[in-house]
Amino acid sequence: MPDMNGKGGVGHRGRETAYAFARYGAYVAVVDLDKLGGVATEEHINSIGGEAIFIEVDVSQEMQVKDMVDQTLAAFGRLDYTHDNAGIDGEQALLADQTTENWNRVIAVNLSGVFFGMKYEIPAMLKRGKGAIVNTASVAGLKGFGNIAPYVASKHGVAGFTKSAVADYGTSGIRFNALCHRGDQHPDGCRFLEGESRAHRRCRRQYADGQDGRAICDGRSGRLALLG
């Protein structure tokens, strides 16, 4: 069976992606800093007949990411797909009011974390001559939003070096895609759209009415990751 490695496997989108891969028969390495949530995702996959392991990793730490890839290869023997999904929103403030600490943390997780992942995932896939890497960017990787400049910068970076990966390895048999979801697809992202009241109200209303925004948004994201 193919192996899938998913960083950021505990949050809504990452968890649903892990479940989607498991349903299609992939062996899944669930990767996150949240041990409790990661183990829960791992146990759920195993309980429905899938095969998963959990690896606790801070993706901002390069050697932890390298060890994660090594552990995945040791457990499953190969690496076919990865979903580099780990990310944080950071603090909201006008650009000039952003703290350097917030900037450094958002860039370390959202941008460097994806870079470290690809740095060690790509060689594993090159050995097999094929593979697929899906990076979670955002609509904020395509346009600007107020009060979240570090997040916007990090997601533009993810979208940009996903394109660079295609330029570097486009003939290698590895596919690269960036997933650019909308912030209004889940209530957690609605606060980015405070100035867009219609989208904000629609998102909040959907959640309040009992429509599971996580399933609507993240189930679709999981399927898109599968198509990567």
Catalytic residue among 81, 120, 151, 169: 151
Q: Assess contact for 217 and 13: CB atoms under 8 A.
A: yes
Q: How many CB atoms lie within 10 A of CB 77?
A: 9
Task: Indicate if 151 belongs to the active site.
Answer: yes
Q: How many CB atoms lie within 10 A of CB 85?
A: 28
Q: Residue 179 — φ and ψ, nearest 5°?
A: -90, 115
Q: Residue 133 — φ and ψ, nearest 5°?
A: -125, 125
Run of H or E including 168: helix 149-169
Q: Which amino acid is at 118?
A: M
Residues labelled as active-site residues: 151
